[in-house]
Chains A and B, each alone.
Chain A
Amino acid sequence: MFKSENNSSAETLIGPSVHVKGDFKSQGNVQIEGQVTGTIQTSGNLRVGEQAVINANISAANAYVAGSIKGNVLVTDKLELSAKAKIEGDVNTKILIMAEGAQLNGRCQMSAGTNDPINKTKKEKTIAPQEN
């Protein structure tokens, strides 16, 4: 499983001393131990470490979360939250595994792929000025 994979399996590794700002896209596995602000999109697996602080909408095939996320999370297959995980945002996934102590503050939808929380947020943002 992705949870048990070591650092070398991730094509991209964002270490604890690094801050990534903007739209981050990847085709492979991504491991985050540092800070990310913006959006994260990967067609591979995502691992969010205990020290990671993420202010971003996330899209991934599978995800294991042990850190803190502020933003919507779209996972097409399996989302696993460890005891120290903290998510403030909507979650859309096919399979959800939550450890005792994990925090999820937001809506949870168990039908990944039908509603894309990232695009939904973008649409709302672009439509809003026209309505005013």
Chain B
Amino acid sequence: MPYFYLYDSYLQDRSYAATLIKLETTLTDLGIQGRVGRLTLLKSVKDLVETAIHGGADTIVAVGNDITLSQTAQAVIKHQRITVGFIPLGTQNQIIAPLLGIPTGILACHVLSGRLIEELPVGKINNHYWLQSIITQGLPIMECEKSYEVVVESPHTLKICNLDNYQGVGVKKLNNKMTALLTPTQQSGLGWFKNNSNATSSLPFKELKLTSPEEELSLLVDNYRIIKTPATVSIAPQKLRIIVGKKRLI
């Protein structure tokens, strides 16, 4: 099983040096060591993953946070029979790891060596893949399944979830469907926007077209990429093979 480890650029910080040494020792002890690629300004995830697969790797392990995993998933999803692993390091953007039952840090190596594999759905927005969520604020118009339209009169926060914690509503596993959560945004006296979670609408869907009656909306995809409306959100035909822990919530 040739493994390839993809380190996020923020792991170059000195504070992670000791952890990475421990990590590599543990991986060697478990017999799952492999080549390492480091993200830099000049090396993209896509380049590293393509080179690794061309070199014979069949398991690509994202070492970093949710964004690292999402970028890796996008690069891997086009290739069949490639498995993705995840070693979460650091404290920021770590929502997916608990959902997959993967502990943060060195302990994740044991989950990796367990090789318990699940096939997860991946989303598509226009021609791009996404893994976690899409978030926007404003007056979105959603045309669902080409049969009905969802309209709001006041500003709302729209969160489309695939692999996310549903903002406290709880994790729901739906068969081949994603969930759109619409929450009214109330403007308080100081001009801050607050979400009224009691009035949250929850709509499962397979295909959704997003538009806006006025100016185009910015959609934050997987917490790092912006795409403007109009956009079509759907479920990709491919599934992501990913190594999960026994305590997974999905």
Residues of A within 8 A of B (CB): 8, 10-26, 28, 33-34, 38
Contact = CB atoms under 8 A, between A and B. Distances in A.
Interface stretch (B142-150, B222-230, B231-239): B142-150
A15 B182 contact: yes
B17 interface: no
B13 interface: no
A26 B179 CA distance: 13
Contact of B152 (A18, A22, A38): A18
Given A11-B174, A17-B153, A18-B152, A23 B201 contact: no
Main secondary structure of the interface of B (DSSP, over half): strand
Given A13-B200, A15-B201, A21-B149, 11 more contacts: A11-B172, A12-B203, A13-B203, A15-B199, A17-B201, A18-B151, A20-B149, A22-B148, A23-B147, A26-B204, A28-B204
Given A17-B156, A18-B182, A25-B145, A12 B202 contact: yes
Contact of B170 (A8, A10, A15, A34): A8
Nearest to A13: B202
Which of B170, B174, B203 has the most chain A CB within a 10 Å cutoff? B203
Interface residues of B, number: 22
Interface of B: 145, 147-154, 156, 169-170, 172, 174, 182, 184, 199-204
Contacts of B154: 17
Contacts of B199: 15-17, 33
19 contacts: A8-B169, A10-B202, A11-B172, A11-B174, A11-B202, A12-B204, A13-B201, A15-B199, A16-B199, A17-B156, A18-B182, A20-B149, A22-B147, A22-B148, A22-B149, A23-B147, A23-B148, A25-B145, A38-B148
Given A8-B170, A25-B145, A14 B203 contact: yes
B151 A21 contact: yes
